[in-house]
Amino acid sequence: MKEKVTLSYNRSWPYLFFWMFLLKMTVQGQTMDEMWDNRASGKEHPNIQWFKDAKFGLFIHWGLYSHLGGEWKGKRYYGSGEWIMNRAKIPVKEYEVAAASFNPTQFNADEWAQLAKDAGIKYVVITAKHHEGFAMFDSKVSTFDIVDATPYKRDPMKLLADAVRKQGMQFGFYYSQFQDWHDPNGGKNTWDFDESKKDYQTYYRQKAIPQLKELMTNYGDLGIVWFDTPGGLTKEQTQQFVDSLRILQPQSLFSSRVGHGLGDYRDYGDSEMPATPIKGAWESIYTHNDSWGYIKHDMNFKTPETIIQLLAEAASKGGNLMLNVGPDGSGRIPEYSVRFLRETGKWLQINGESIYGTTEGLIPQQPWGVTTSKPGKQYLHVWNRPHNGELLIPAFNRQVKKVYALAGRQVLNWHKQGNDIRIDLPTFPIDAKNTVFVLEYMGKVPTDEKEAPLIVSGCFDENVLKAAFAKTEGNAHIENLTYSHYYGDWKHTTCVVGMANGKTDKTQFDIRITEPGDYQIILEYACQPESANQEGMLSISDQNFYFKTLHTGSFDKKSPLLFIKQPVATVAIERSGQYILDIKPVANGQELFKLKAVLLKPIN
């Protein structure tokens, strides 16, 4: 039946992430690695608990770039709007001129804070100075700031810090500590200044550190100082930099992008959601549309449903979601951001108990959704309703006390079947964003759950076996691939890669099919030209299915990585129970493909 598979380091969570981290280092090389630091010090900051409990943060990118709105000299730019100075290679002198007409008179700190409060946000982080070098606060260090260089002449950061704290939320500043395209010694402006003549130490000494000291002295208690894209300092220098700031506000948390693994919590790359639970404090950051800073023509907003599910997913893996909005140059938050944040807040009003203060779920991701935990409780976040109305909690061998709907507290019938719990769900709207049920239990928490087979059920339209949950053999291994759509619009997908040798390389999924029947099997993968036209074989239940790989495109981190969903087989499953689904190349050749997932669709 179940054969023994060796080499399953990737089934052990800490190792998986160690591997991903190593791979990330080698794949992306030095500069990317410097930019994308998601390591934390490993030491627990004494003030970390509020952050772990908070779960939902609001990120705000607001600067001179917001005033430009993604357009320069009649040309529209797509991607990260806050990079427009760099994209258009705008000379410092010309960029400074834009400040003369930046007048955000519509800015209202209380309205922003009220919106965050209504949305269920627990902390707000705003860009005090982004890579463009423009300070959105009253700085004595430079005149390139909102008070000295614009007709607005006031300090919006002061007002916002107070308004946010008045609403009982934590407040923090984003500060670009190395990249500064305005300063001759700052990082990365190569169009005005010769990089080889720069003295980064001087920049740190004369601008970054003094401005950070202003921010950490004049704006009250900061929950977070959110550093970004480290550079120009050794580990020792970074440690000194950190120490010199820590004395000012020892209770402030520093983001991992301070560099060299010296941050207090881990920040995942933009739009990067880890596949499995992560220990320690961490945060995933997503922007509401495609850009961080305001772009007039970027109307690609994530729906309330997506936001709510991202939030639940982050919480189910033990982390936070910090969602970004980009107010415009007049000081207004885009209408859709306002509306969709409020929608999210309405859901949290009712379901907040299942998010705030929770820890990672005990039940691994299911076809119906995810789980979060509080002592003695599992919150079941159901966003796909099983067709038969029966919710399966596989292998939950604790004593169940009670199951009820979180909204309205309606008590539900359930029964035990072997080690499984089966819950009779009430009907709820098919378009419900996320319906939460509470399972109260007694007994201690076993630790072996994560080895549980992946559930494939006939009660859902589709079952997704994600690459991150595969066991691999030989050269096959799991890798986190980074690529982008628009400029700076990074995407991250975990894939099985490296399967090239038919004798040694294999990808395997341990699954449990809960309803017999016919299933369509679909492979979702990316396949480079040199990988195309190779034969592969998928096996399940003593049946072998051959397929040939199809060309999708080349892999380049600066371009979209295209995935195809190729149906490869229909299979009859006669009995419910555990199965092994494996995939391997037929011959010895190039990497077969980059496998993102295997989808199983019941045929009714």
Q: How far is the CB of 228 from ligand JFZ (least distance, A)?
A: 5
Please state the length of the chain: 604
Please state the closest distance from residue 164 (CB atom) to ligand JFZ, in A.
Answer: 19
Query: Closest separation between CB of residue 103 and ligand JFZ, Å?
Result: 24
Q: Which is nearer to ligand JFZ, 82 or 283 (CB)?
A: 82
Distance CA 155, CA 139 (A): 9
Cβ proximity to ligand JFZ, 551 vs 557, nearer residue: 557
Q: What pairs with residue 487 in β-bridges?
A: 79
- Are 460 and 368 spatial neighbours (Cβ–Cβ below 8 Å)? yes
Closest CB to ligand JFZ belongs to which residue? 269
21, 28 in Cβ contact below 8 A?
Answer: no
- In the window 267-326, what residues touch ligand JFZ (CB under 6 A)? 269-270, 272, 285, 292
Candidate segments 62-70, 266-274, 338-346, 501-509, binder of ligand JFZ by CB under 6 A: 266-274
Q: Is 287 in contact with 299 (CB distance < 8 Å)?
A: no
Least distance from ligand JFZ to the Cβ atom of residue 95, Å = 16
36 binds ligand JFZ (CB under 6 A): yes
Residue 294 CB, shortest distance to ligand JFZ, in Å, is 12
Q: Which is nearer to ligand JFZ, 226 or 525 (CB)?
A: 226
Q: Please, what is the minimum distance in Å from the beta carbon of residue 292 to ligand JFZ?
A: 5
Minimal distance, residue 71 CB to ligand JFZ, in Å: 17
Give the dihedral sign, CA 217/218/223/229. negative
Determine the longest span between alpha carbons in the chain, in angstroms. Answer: 75
Rounded to 10°, the helix 335-351/109-119 angle is 40
How far from the centroid of its chain's Cα atoms is residue 593's Cα? 25
Are 150 and 102 contacting, i.e. CB atoms less than 8 angstroms apart? yes
Q: What is the DSSP string of 449-461?
A: GGGSPEEE-TTSS
Q: How buried is residue 445: exposed, middle or buried, by Cβ count under 10 Å (0-12/13-18/19+)?
A: exposed
Return the number of the residue (56 or 292) whose C-beta is nearest ligand JFZ.
292
Tell me whether residue 176 or residue 463 sits nearer to ligand JFZ (CB atom). Answer: 176
**Closer of 286 and 593 to ligand JFZ (Cβ):** 286
Q: How far is the CB of 205 from ligand JFZ (least distance, A)?
A: 23
Partners of 497 in the β-ladder:
477
Nearer to ligand JFZ, 119 or 323 (CB): 323
Least distance from ligand JFZ to the Cβ atom of residue 308, Å: 22
- Supply the minimum distance, in Å, between the C-beta of residue 157 and ligand JFZ: 17
Residue 121's nearest CA partner among 165, 55, 52, 61 is 55
Contact, 504 vs 585, CB < 8 A?
no
Sheet of 320-325: strand order equals 253-254, 224-228, 170-176, 123-129, 56-60, 320-325, 282-287, 266-268
Nearer to ligand JFZ, 256 or 457 (CB): 256
Instruction: Taking the CA atoms of 496, 500, 502 and 504 in sequence, report the sign of the dihedral they define.
Output: negative
Q: Which of 35, 48, 432, 564 binds ligand JFZ (CB under 6 A)?
A: 35
Residue 5: Cβ within 10 Å count: 15
Subset of 543-572 contacting ligand JFZ (CB under 6 A): none
- Stretch near ligand JFZ under the rule CB under 6 A, chosen from 76-84, 230-238, 443-451, 465-473: 76-84
The tokens for 504 are 């040694």
Instruction: Tell me how far, at minimum, the Cβ of 278 lies from ligand JFZ, in Å.
Output: 15
Q: How far apart are CA 11 and CA 469, in angstroms?
A: 7
CB of 285 to ligand JFZ, least distance (A): 6
Shortest distance, CB of residue 140 to ligand JFZ, whole angstroms?
A: 25
Residue 483 interacting with ligand JFZ (CB under 6 A): no
Nearer to ligand JFZ, 5 or 35 (CB): 35
Residues 226-245 that bind ligand JFZ (CB under 6 A): 228-229
Q: Of 130 and 198, which CB lies nearer to ligand JFZ in the complex structure? A: 130
Q: According to CB under 6 A, which one of 52, 64, 82, 308 is a site residue for ligand JFZ?
A: 82
Provide the Cα torsion 375, 223, 303, 311; round to 10°. -20
Cα separation, 451 vs 30, in Å, equals 35
Residue that is written with structure tokens 């591997």 in the block: 19
Among 41, 80, 337, 366, binds ligand JFZ (CB under 6 A): 80
In angstroms, what is the minimal distance from the CB of 484 to ligand JFZ? Answer: 9
What is the secondary structure of 122-175 as a DSSP string?
-EEEEEEE-TT--BSS--SS-S-BHHHHSSS-S-HHHHHHHHHHHTT-EEEEEE
Single out the residue of 9, 13, 336, 490 in contact with ligand JFZ (rule: CB under 6 A): 490
Neighbours of 258 (CB within 10 A): 27
The stretch near ligand JFZ (CB under 6 A) out of 79-87, 144-152, 185-193, 333-341 is 79-87
Q: Does 328 bind ligand JFZ (CB under 6 A)?
A: no
Q: Which residue lies nearer to ligand JFZ by CB, 82 or 582?
A: 82
Residue with Cβ nearer ligand JFZ (351 or 480): 480
Contact 297, 68 (CB under 8 A): no
Tokens representing residue 402 in the block: 């009670």
Pick between residue 301 and residue 519 the one whose CB is nearest to ligand JFZ: 301
Closer CB to ligand JFZ, residue 58 or residue 598?
58
Size of the site for ligand JFZ (CB under 6 A): 13
Quickly tell me which residue has 């560099």 as its tokens: 259
Q: Which stretch binds ligand JFZ (CB under 6 A): 77-85, 275-283, 334-342, 364-372?
A: 77-85
DSSP code string of 174-222:
EEESSB-SSSTTSBT-TTTS-GGG--HHHHIIIIIHHHHHHHHHHS---
Residues of this chain that bind ligand JFZ (CB under 6 A):
35-36, 80, 82-83, 228-229, 269-270, 272, 285, 292, 490
